[in-house]
Structures are given as C-alpha cells and as structure tokens.
Structure 1
Amino acid sequence: MMKGLKKWRLFSLLAVMMVFLSGCGEDYISALKPSGQVGKEQFNLLMLATGIMTLVVVVVSVIYLLAFLKFRRSKVGENVIPKQVEGSHTLEVIWTVIPIILLLILAVPVVTATYKFADVAAMDIVDEDGNKTALTVNVTAKLYWWEFEYPNQGIVTSQELVVPTGQKVYFNLKAADVKHSFWIPAVGGKMDTNVENLNKFYLEFDKESKDLKDGVFYGKCAELCGPSHALMDFKVKALSPEAFDAWVTAMKATEGKVADKASTDLGEATFANSCLGCHAISGTGVSGAPGPNLTTFGDRNRVAGFLKHDEESLKAWIKDPEQFKPGNLMTGKYGELTDEEIDALATYIMSLSVEK
C-alpha cells in the first residue's frame, strides 16, 4: 500500500513541476527565448555548457553500465577479481587531458563574451557637436522600485523602461540603498547594482514589445534585497526608433508640469498637498527623487510593479502600501485622507500620461 502511495506522490510532484515549467517558454520573460543579441549569445553559451555536461554524463553513465554488466557476479562468478588498472599512465593522461580540453572549449567563448559585453567604450563617443551618440540609461535600484534616467535626453521615468529596437542601449547601474540586480530575462543580463560602485553593460532589443503579453518585456531584481524582493519588478517597452523619438518628445513636453494646491480638481489638489514632495509629474530633470516619477503612470500596465493597473488597485495601494510591499519606503499621512480624496487622487494619477 505504501509503495503505491509513494508512486502517486512522485507522479503528483512531476505534474506540479510540469505546471511550473510550462511558463518557461513565454517570450516576454523567458531566457530560453531570447529577443536580443546579448540574450542570444548568452543562450548559445548556455547550450554549449549544457551540451558539454550532457556529454560527460552520458559517457560516464555508459562506462558505468558497461562495467556493471560485464563484471556482474552472475557472469564472472563470486570470487573473481577483474584485472586492476590502477597506476595506468595511459588512463591517467586520458582523464586528465579530456577535462582540460572540455574546460577550454567552454572557457574560451565564455571569457570572450564576458569581455565583449563589458566593452562600453561607445558610451563616450561624441559627434561633431560634442553630443554623445549612444543611448545611455542611468538605472537606480531602490527599495522596491526602479528609476530610469536618460541623461542625454534630459528625461527621467520609473518602473517602466522605454528603449528603441535595433541599437545598443548602454546602462549605468547603481543602487541607492542595498545591493540589487538588474535583469531582463528575455533580452539579457543580469548585472548587480551596488551602492559602492557603478556597473556598466549594454543590451540590444531585436523586436518591439507591443505583440507580447501586456505589450512589455518583464524585468526583475535578481538579488535578494529584502522582504519584498520578489515584488521588485519593472517592465520594458521596446519601440521602433521613430516611436521612441516620439516618446522622448512627449516626455520633454511635460517640462515644468506641477500639481496645483489651489486646483478645483480635488485629485490634483490632494496630490499637490500629499504627494508632490516625493513624486514628480514632469518627465524632465535628473534622478534622485524620493519616490517614483509618475509622469507616465497612466501608460503603465501595473500598479507598484505587480498589481492590476486600475483605480481600485491604486486606491488599495494608497491606503496601505505596507500591506502589499512590506519594507517599502513609501510614507505619509494616508490614513488622514478621506475616501473622497483617495478616489479623486486615484483618478488624477491614472490620468497622467504621455501616450494618450
């Protein structure tokens, strides 16, 4: 009876694993379906390493099975000791040289790719007017959200990275508080963001994200950073170069935009009195704000990186951020806002957009 139960337990475990593994092939988040040149090269290295390991496992397994079958007691007898080959110089050379060859086959392309991905010299190239030619994004990881500054364009946003396709996008990575790690599984990465030093690398986006689920690639923090580490998501919109230029223009057009404390719109007035100290609604400027820039909040597909993008989710977040992201640094007197003010505030924030 117990043996039968154990078999069913194994079957159930395999069934559960199949459910989880079924999500590994999604284009918007899977490293096994790369959508950029960096991701494709890293995938090829993964396949090379897997091939070598599979070869080793197969060869060792075959040798083991042959020895097991050839020298089993039922065949050679109880008291037969097979010929011993210990001290064989030939065998010692073989099992020393073969691993070295396999390591070289793996190490050479890995080291070559590592130096290639670390080559960010193009970040400093300028044109005749002294303007940098490469698109650079300064990424700052915070508890538990992401800030993206485009220094050459003079704009800043958060939680949703917007990039053009068909060109290298260079990243300056840093952390504002504790160690995090920047990773877009379907495109490439990952790279740590540290408080003490600046890390640099680049990615390439081969295709637009509009046809993916939710119209975005998913980004993750890949370094355990606190109680809400699993909820530290960001999204990536990959646009055509023309659409990206239009987005940059729209962001620049928000310069000087602020919420008015004396506004007749209750949502705007509430925002100005309760939120403006931490959250900007202008896409121009530099990084370093205490809270996420909300200029494009209405264009996003998630609230707080993981909640459904609607007013009900936003109102729930405003009322109690700690309930959803324990340890986050959003503070304020939200308990003092009336339900009417929270309703109006959510409507106002959802209206912030540069794409509509």
Structure 2
Amino acid sequence: MMKGLKKWRLFSLLAALTIFLSGCGEEYLSTLTPAGQVGRDQFNLLLLSSAIMALVIIVVVIIYVVALVKFRRKKVGEDVIPKQVEGSHTLEIVWTVIPILLLIVLAIPTVYYTYKHADVAAMDQVDEEGNKTNVTVNVKASLYWWEFEYPDLGIVTAQELVVPTDQKVYFNLKAADVKHSFWIPTAGGKMDTNVENVNQFYLEFDDASASLEQGVFYGKCAELCGPSHALMDFKVKTLEPEDFNAWVETMKTNEHVAEGELASQGEEIFNTSCIACHATSGAGTTGGMGPNLATFGDRNRVAGFMSHDEESLKKWINDPQLYKPGNLMPQPETINDGEKFSEDQLDALAAYLMGLSVEK
C-alpha cells in the first residue's frame, strides 16, 4: 500500500513539473528563446555553465556507483577491511586542479561578455550632421508603471517600449521612487533602476515583434518593489528601422481629435479630472505624474496586465487600488467631486481613451 502511495506521489510531482515546464519557451517571454545578440550571448553562457555542472554531476555519480558496486559487502566478504590510505598527493592535486580549470573555462567568457555588454561608449556617437547614430531611451520606473523617453527624438511614451530591430538600443535607467529592475527576458539580463544613480546598458532585437503570438515582447520588474510588484509589466514592440522612423514621425506630429459625441464627452471629463497627471501627446520630454496616454489605444493591456477592452478599462478607472494595490493613481472620488464616476462617465472616458492612437 505504501509503495503504491509513493508511486502516486512521484507521478503527481512529475505531472506538476510538466505543467510548469510547459510555460517555458514562449518567444515573447522566455530566456530560452533569445531575441537578440545580447540574449544569445547570455544563453550561451547558461549552456556552458549547465554543461560544466552536468559534467561534474556525472563524474561524481559514476565514482559513487563504481565504489558502491565494487566494494559492496556481498562481493568482498564480511571480514574484509579496505586498504586504509591516509592522504594522497596525486588525488589532492587532481581534485584541486580540475575545479580550478573548470572555473577558468567559465570565468573567461563570463568576464568577456560582462565588459562587452557594459560598453555604452557608442551611445554618444553622432554622424556628420551631429545627429545621434543610435537610439537612446531614458527609462523611468515608478510604482507601478514605466516611462520611456527618447531624448534625441523628442518623444515619450509609457508602458509600451518601441524600438528598432538590427541595431543596438541604449538605455539610461533610473527609478522615481524605490528600487526597481528592468528586465526583458528574451532580450537579455536584468538591470537595476536606482533612485540615486543612472545605470546604462544596451540590448538588440533581431526581428519585428508583429509575428509573435502576442504581437509584443514582455518586460517585467525583477526587483520586489511593493504589493503590486508582480503586476508591474511592460510590453516591447520591435519594428523594422523604416517602420520605427515612421512611428517616431507620427508620434511627433499626431494631434488626436476625439471622434464621435461619446468620445468628445470623454475628452471633456478627462480634461477636468485626469489631465493634471496624464499627457495625451507623444511629443515632449515627460509624461507627467502618471503614464503618458498618447498610444493608449495601441496597447494590448490596461494597467499593464488587464485585458485591453472597455470593460477592463472602466473597472480600472473606477477602483485602481482594487486591481493594483499601492499604485499612485487616485481613486475617482478625489477627482470627481467626492463621487465615483457614473456609468455614463465611464463609457465616455473609455471611448475617448481607446481612441488615443498613433497607429490607426
């Protein structure tokens, strides 16, 4: 009975592991499917370290099994005492030299790639006309959202990072409140965003994200930063260089005009209650106290994690603390004369916000 129970426990454990492993390998999220050269370099280091660990485990297991089989009591007899060896210079040299060699094999590429990926000298390169040759993004992490400013292009967005393919994209990382950590699993390792200093690094993307199941890569905060840390996601949209340039020009020149009576009503409500914190233009340097909403209609999530539809948006507006505890968005009572937004007001706001787009 106990043997059967143990077998079922083992089966249950394997089944649970299978479910967890089934989530690995998604192109938009997994470190096992690198999307650029930085990710591939780090993935190769992962393979190398895993191979070294596997080698050590296999050798130790072989020695253990050989000793177990060769010197078992049934084979050598009851009264046999193995030869007692006190110290062996040969063995001591072997088990000292081999680990050192393995560490050297792992250390050399690790140090090389660490310095390679930390080299951001090209961030300031300019062409003959004095224009920056590479895209630079200033990333600001807040509780619990992300702002992406393109200082050389004069635009800003939030919650959705847009970058070109086939070139290095440089990042200046800083936090607005507490320590966060910027991480795009498919593109490369995480980098902390601190309040007191700016961290810099670069990433690369091979292909446009439109072919992905979600249409975007997923980014996350990798530093426990508060009660809604797990909900602090952002999306990464990668475009071919010519498409990226067109997107930049549209962001600079786009002037949204509310279409329809309902959206116009929503714009009026927005301008009397929300405009103090949220910008609706992509041109500029900052998005205000809250996320820039210029591309809200082009996103695929509300608040970074909810479905991108009007019902989810209305729920979020009417009670942001319920869905993302600890965030700094005010409850509607504080900006709507002490009352919740009515259903008609929510419909109007949702229609207006869903119409904020630079891609449609």
Give the equivalent residue in structure 2 for 1:242: 242
Aligned-partner residue type, residue 207 of structure 1:
D
| CA–CA separation in structure 2 for the residues paired with 1:343 and 1:249 | 31
The percentage of aligned residue pairs carrying the same residue is 70
Give the equivalent residue in structure 1 for 2:301: 302
User: For structure 1, which segment, 110-119 or 179-188, has the greater mean C-alpha deviation from structure 2 after superposition?
Assistant: 179-188
Aligned-partner residue type, residue 122 of structure 1:
A
| CA–CA separation in structure 1 for the residues paired with 2:85 and 2:124 | 61
Aligned-partner residue type, residue 244 of structure 1:
F
1:322 aligns with 2:326: no
Aligned-partner residue type, residue 17 of structure 1:
L
User: For structure 1, which segment, 129-138 or 159-168, has the greater mean C-alpha deviation from structure 2 after superposition?
Assistant: 129-138
Give the equivalent residue in structure 2 for 1:214: 214
State the shift of 1:125 in Å.
1.3
| CA–CA separation in structure 2 for the residues paired with 1:200 and 1:258 | 37
| CA–CA separation in structure 2 for the residues paired with 1:23 and 1:202 | 27
| CA–CA separation in structure 1 for the residues paired with 2:177 and 2:75 | 67
After superposition, give the CA deviation of every residue in 1:118-162 in whole Å (9 maximum; x if it has no partner). Answer: 000001112223322211000111111110000000100000000
| CA–CA separation in structure 2 for the residues paired with 1:336 and 1:220 | 31
After superposition, give the CA deviation of every residue in 1:58-89 in whole Å (9 maximum; x if it has no partner). Answer: 00100011111111111112232212333111
After superposition, give the CA deviation of every residue in 1:92-134 in whole Å (9 maximum; x if it has no partner). Answer: 0000000000000000000000000000000111222332221
Describe the SS at the equivalent of 2:297: helix
After superposition, give the CA deviation of every residue in 1:156-193 in whole Å (9 maximum; x if it has no partner). Answer: 00000000000000000111111111111111121111
**Gap regions ≥5 residues in structure 1:** none
After superposition, give the CA deviation of every residue in 1:291-322 in whole Å (9 maximum; x if it has no partner). Answer: 00000000000001110000000000001111
TM-score normalised by L of structure 2? 0.95
Contact 2:281–2:294 (Cα < 8 Å) also in 1: yes
| CA–CA separation in structure 2 for the residues paired with 1:177 and 1:258 | 34
Give the equivalent residue in structure 2 for 1:338: 342
Give the equivalent residue in structure 1 for 2:336: none
1:186 aligns with 2:190: no
State the shift of 1:264 in Å.
8.9
Aligned-partner residue type, residue 100 of structure 1:
I
Q: How does 1:158-237 map to 2 (within 5 A)?
A: 158-237=158-237
| CA–CA separation in structure 2 for the residues paired with 1:41 and 1:309 | 34
Describe the SS at the equivalent of 1:25: coil
User: For structure 1, which segment, 168-177 or 330-339, has the greater mean C-alpha deviation from structure 2 after superposition?
Assistant: 330-339
Describe the SS at the equivalent of 2:43: helix
| CA–CA separation in structure 1 for the residues paired with 2:86 and 2:145 | 60
| CA–CA separation in structure 1 for the residues paired with 2:77 and 2:3 | 33
Contact 2:318–2:331 (Cα < 8 Å) also in 1: no
1:54 aligns with 2:58: no
| CA–CA separation in structure 2 for the residues paired with 1:264 and 1:207 | 36
User: For structure 1, which segment, 77-86 or 226-235, has the greater mean C-alpha deviation from structure 2 after superposition?
Assistant: 77-86
Contact 1:258–1:281 (Cα < 8 Å) also in 2: no
Aligned-partner residue type, residue 321 of structure 2:
E
Give the equivalent residue in structure 2 for 1:290: 289
The 1:11/1:264 distance shift into structure 2, 3 A limit, reads: closer
After superposition, give the CA deviation of every residue in 1:207-237 in whole Å (9 maximum; x if it has no partner). Answer: 1100101200011111111111111110000
Contact 1:167–1:205 (Cα < 8 Å) also in 2: yes
User: For structure 1, which segment, 92-101 or 75-84, has the greater mean C-alpha deviation from structure 2 after superposition?
Assistant: 75-84
Contact 1:220–1:232 (Cα < 8 Å) also in 2: yes
Describe the SS at the equivalent of 2:220: strand
Aligned-partner residue type, residue 342 of structure 2:
T
Give the equivalent residue in structure 1 for 2:83: 83
State the shift of 1:266 in Å.
1.1
User: For structure 1, which segment, 56-65 or 285-294, has the greater mean C-alpha deviation from structure 2 after superposition?
Assistant: 285-294
Aligned-partner residue type, residue 207 of structure 2:
K
| CA–CA separation in structure 2 for the residues paired with 1:331 and 1:10 | 49
Give the equivalent residue in structure 2 for 1:149: 149
Q: How does 1:32-71 map to 2 (within 5 A)?
A: 32-71=32-71
1:272 aligns with 2:276: no
Describe the SS at the equivalent of 1:192: strand
| CA–CA separation in structure 2 for the residues paired with 1:58 and 1:354 | 56
Contact 1:258–1:280 (Cα < 8 Å) also in 2: no
1:353 aligns with 2:334: no
| CA–CA separation in structure 2 for the residues paired with 1:243 and 1:125 | 22
Describe the SS at the equivalent of 2:190: strand
Number of residues of Structure 1 aligned to a counterpart in Structure 2: 352
State the shift of 1:287 in Å.
2.6
Contact 1:266–1:344 (Cα < 8 Å) also in 2: yes
**Gap regions ≥5 residues in structure 2:** 334-338
State the shift of 1:5 in Å.
2.4
TM-score normalised by L of structure 1? 0.96
Aligned-partner residue type, residue 68 of structure 1:
L
Contact 2:317–2:332 (Cα < 8 Å) also in 1: no
What RMSD over aligned residues (CA atoms) do the two structures have, in Å?
1.6
After superposition, give the CA deviation of every residue in 1:40-74 in whole Å (9 maximum; x if it has no partner). Answer: 01000000000000000000100011111111111
State the shift of 1:13 in Å.
2.0
State the shift of 1:285 in Å.
1.1
